[in-house]
Structure 1
Amino acid sequence: MLLDCDEQLCMTYSQSGEKGAEKLLSKWAEISTHTDPKILGTTLSPDLFLVNEEAAMNIAFSTARKYWGRVSTELQLFFEKHGLDEKFVHDRLNAFFYTQKGKETFFEQLFAQHTMDLERLIWLVFGKRWQVTLPVDDLQTIFLYKFKDEYFVHMIYKEEALFWHWLFTKKVYSLLIHKPLEQFTFIHEMMRHFERSAQITYAHVNNFVYNYRKNLDKCITYVDKHNASCLAKKQLRLYQIVTHYRLSVGDYQSVKELITSFEADWRYSMYALTEKEKVLISYILLHMGHEEQDHETVIHYGEYLLEDERLNNYAIEIMLEYKDLLPNRKPTPPAIIKNYTLNYLENLYAVLLDNYVKMERYQEALTLIRENVLASNKKIHAALVQQNFSNEQFIAIEASVQQDIALQVNNSLQHIGLSVEEWRQNYRESDAPYYFVAQSSSLHMLNILKVLFVTEQYELFEKLMEVYKKYLLIDDHFGKLRLFIRAYV
């Protein structure tokens, strides 16, 4: 089921491309009463695509039933692999798509999640999440957002996918220009979908990142000027900050300016920054400071984020709203050999420890290692806390390193000896799959060694040095450690 405007634009786009569709929009705009800044081309009047609740429900559900209510041959093969026969699959789909209860469940989930795809639908119907890539269907995604008493429903189809992504960005942009921001909910999520569709639509543009940021800034400046203070306005500005940070490569001046302006505008507002938003900004400032080797800034924000477990307390909310910002690989406290950039807490400890060392704040660094297991690993942490440097503990530390290596090389604790041998032959090679793990682990281990040496934890230092030389030695890194020790002595 297509809206009239979707059908006309699709036909024009397929015949004359984006330019033809823009011409059609210009004709429609001549009879529109809306003011149009034309930042991203001509806007589309929301009156043409916003519908009431009943229409949104019918459009979304009938479209899902048309494309997902029957099982293709490819999808049936998928179900058979998981032990579901054809009759069972059809019965479950019919019970879902041809009952009022199924329709209500579908709409509740779509309204709560704002998107529906085949994977989520299968979970709704069969109650299982399969960690596999499902067959690509003709209908890829259904979007749904509420604006006061109206709904924005939009589909992405496999056929003419570029058009449907282009139209989605056009509609979101038009809503930003013509609808009061106070009617927007979950604007950060909508903008994330907007950005993804823009990347797909303009993948052929060489300077996409520059143009996206430039047009985004123009759009947000216009929207900011034409709307009163509200929660969505603040969320839109936060999205702008996060986007500039994610898309910046080394030059963070624009991000800093946006943060300064944002904090000044909202500090004394009735929508003053929440602690979660302060944590979000502090996280960005910490990592920009680390890139720019501003050690005092890193330590200031690192300590703030660790105090009262601030980052950990708000990490899930931040990840839900800004999915690409916090690396969310599961933490591995037993491991010392790992890529510390893959988990936000392990990364925070590694970054803070590195900056303590560079600022020669060794006692604070020792406290960080002693009080937080993720700053080293369980075995090293236990040795420091217990101050019991027995030979058995040293053997346990080396064994844990060998296990780390086996998991990195073969994702298995079988044949540890063979995995360790393969690691030792290849970990310095830039094309090795665990090269970045070795680089990250080496730098972090050396920071630990420096702290132990300066704070006179000599027994543990000597054992870890043996382990480092045996399994992780990188000549360039080790040369800097030798210079450090020589200078300190």
Structure 2
Amino acid sequence: MGGSIFMLLDCDEQLFMAYKQRSKKGAENILATWLEAESNLREDPKILGTSLSPNLFLVNEETAKNIAFSTARKYWGHVSTEMQIYFDKYGLDSKFVNERLSAFFYTQKGKDTFFEQLFAQHTIDLERLIWLVFGKRMQIAMPVNELQSIILYKFQDEYLVHMMYKEHASFWHWLFTKKVYSLLIHKPLEQFTFLYEIMGHFEHSVRENCEHVDNFVNNYKTILDKCITHVDKHNASCLAKKQLRLYQIVTDYRLSEGDFKSVKALITSFEAEWRYSMYALSEKEKVLIAYILFHIANREQQSEKVIYYGEYLLEDERINNYAIEILLEYKELLPNRKPTPPAIIKNYQLNYLENLYAILLEHYVKMARYEDGLLLLKEHVLASNKKINSSLVQKNFSSEQLIAIEAYVQQDIALHVNNSLQHIGLSVEEWRRNYRQPNAPYYVVAQSASLHMLNILRVLFVTEQYELFEKLMEIYKKYLLIDDHFENLRMFISAYV
């Protein structure tokens, strides 16, 4: 960017020049003069300073395509000496790289592919572009002053196209938040067709632009609450309005730091408002709210509510049926590491289903609902693991099956210690030396697996699954013994006997 500004909208360029001269204050002054000249805009509540007229930055499809593609070609259409160093690591010489980039940026096929990705993903950066051009993902560090990403959203027949640059990054994030805020304030909400995605970008830019990062959570919740209150007042009931409220609930939950009063209040008012509307809650939205309430109940140690919501989520495979949709819309809500049915030693919090089973089993135990706990272990492989599950399901199981459980545990350990099934014996030795040490990389895994294994043992003991109980107890003592956890189990058995 250093010298000339390339393919910027007039309003972006004027605001950028004012920002360079007098920082945000200079840019805000220009916005104030522009707003005075507008007579057909809705009232601006000044939640994020002064808004912009959407007419200044929304463009037609052809202009959006020209701006986006020309800017991408200018910054990413050739390889600098600095960038070639990264390609060399993948065995791609500069002649080959530049030929492929030219074929992409100077052909209709390349242009079509570019826009397919940009329209589908709403954003494109250098890493994704390299993947499009070369068919492989590469970690390419962007040189200073380069284009960081291009963002594109459609509003009826018009487009918001916005560039993020590394130089003066805070300005480009500030300007993007202004644009989204201005659209929320001045445009009918029903024109927002990808509300979750644009609000995700908005939140990211507010975070990047927040001068006092320590206050980000409270600041963002306050901004969001004020914006949504204003939008609610000025928009008729529509699907996007409901989606915005859902975004607020999820965001408040994600950013909550132990105090869930505001989240529960938002959910209560949301359900009351939308229950009987023509946009009544869909099954997916009910599942989303139940998932949040399940985890809040767990954090607040309300066992009856945990069990109620946990069973609701598992019934008719509700959480499974809607997990992909929820993951696409709320990427950070459901931990989505691939589930591992063979493993029993793992961090259960990394997968939403494994975590749900572990939490539900814990609360069955707390409520002395051991038969329900046993049923959970029998009906759901991920509540324990393949070998334990098959041992429970088959009434007559062999000693070979019990030995296989220990073999699986040793494999779990080897994968956590060395990410390899070679030298299992050495991995197990290293694990047993270090798993209780807080600085060990697998300490969290051991803590999580120990707590869950002990809940399985409690259920097996009370429901008189003694043979499997004894084998798992032997495994626990050998590979996973954590003194204070085990003492709790010992006291539990003594009290029960």
Does TM-score exceed 0.5, indicating one fold?
Answer: yes
Which among 350, 353, 362 is matched to residue 342 of structure 1? 350
Distance 1:19 1:229 in 2: 36
Which among 386, 390, 393 is matched to residue 394 of structure 2? 386
1:318 counterpart residue number: 326
CA contact (8 A) 1:46 1:174 kept: yes
Structure 1 residue 204 displacement after superposition = 3.2
Which among 30, 47, 54 is matched to residue 36 of structure 2? 30
* Alignment map for 1:17-166 (pairs within 5 Å): 17-33=23-39, 34=41, 35-126=43-134, 128-130=135-137, 132-137=138-143, 138-166=146-174
1:254 counterpart residue number: 262
> The residue matched to 2:212 in structure 1 has which SS?
coil
Structure 1 residue 133 displacement after superposition = 2.3
How many matched pairs?
A: 487
CA contact (8 A) 2:122 2:153 kept: yes
Structure 1 residue 109 displacement after superposition = 1.9
TM-score (norm 2): 0.96
CA contact (8 A) 1:389 1:459 kept: no
Structure 1 residue 37 displacement after superposition = 0.3
Q: Within the alignment, does 1:211 sit opposite 2:219 as a pair? A: yes
Which among 181, 190, 206 is matched to residue 182 of structure 1? 190
Runs of at least 4 residues off by over 6 Å: none
Distance 1:378 1:285 in 2: 29
Structure 1 residue 57 displacement after superposition = 0.6
Q: Within the alignment, does 1:11 sit opposite 2:17 as a pair? A: yes
Structure 1 residue 206 displacement after superposition = 2.4
> The residue matched to 2:317 in structure 1 has which SS?
helix
CA displacement 1:43-80 (0-9 Å, x = unmatched): 11111111111110100000000001011223323333
Identity %: 76
Distance 1:19 1:206 in 2: 22
Q: Give the letter aligned to residue 67 of structure 2.
A: I
Structure 1 residue 270 displacement after superposition = 1.4
- Structure 1: state its 5+ residue gaps: none
Distance 1:122 1:188 in 2: 26
Distance 1:104 1:284 in 2: 40
Structure 1 residue 369 displacement after superposition = 0.3
CA contact (8 A) 2:87 2:93 kept: yes
Q: Within the alignment, does 1:364 sit opposite 2:372 as a pair? A: yes
CA contact (8 A) 2:207 2:213 kept: no
CA displacement 1:15-68 (0-9 Å, x = unmatched): 222222212211211112221100111111111111111110100000000001
TM-score (norm 1): 0.97
> The residue matched to 1:336 in structure 2 has which SS?
coil
Q: Give the letter aligned to residue 101 of structure 1.
A: K
> The residue matched to 1:151 in structure 2 has which SS?
strand
1:286 counterpart residue number: 294
Distance 2:212 2:331 in 1: 24
Structure 1 residue 136 displacement after superposition = 1.6
Q: Give the letter aligned to residue 326 of structure 1.
A: L
Structure 1 residue 110 displacement after superposition = 0.9
CA contact (8 A) 1:61 1:103 kept: yes
> The residue matched to 1:145 in structure 2 has which SS?
strand
Distance 2:91 2:359 in 1: 47
> The residue matched to 2:349 in structure 1 has which SS?
coil
Q: Within the alignment, does 1:333 sit opposite 2:338 as a pair? A: no
- Structure 2: state its 5+ residue gaps: 1-6
Which among 405, 408, 421 is matched to residue 400 of structure 1? 408
> The residue matched to 2:30 in structure 1 has which SS?
helix
Distance 1:224 1:70 in 2: 47
1:227 counterpart residue number: 235
CA displacement 1:425-469 (0-9 Å, x = unmatched): 111111111111011000000000000000000010011001101
Distance 1:478 1:387 in 2: 28
1:449 counterpart residue number: 457
Distance 2:126 2:320 in 1: 32
> The residue matched to 1:222 in structure 2 has which SS?
helix
CA contact (8 A) 2:154 2:193 kept: yes
Q: Give the letter aligned to residue 12 of structure 2.
A: D
Which among 284, 287, 304 is matched to residue 312 of structure 2? 304
59-68 or 391-400: bigger deviation: 391-400
2:4 counterpart residue number: none
CA contact (8 A) 1:283 1:301 kept: yes
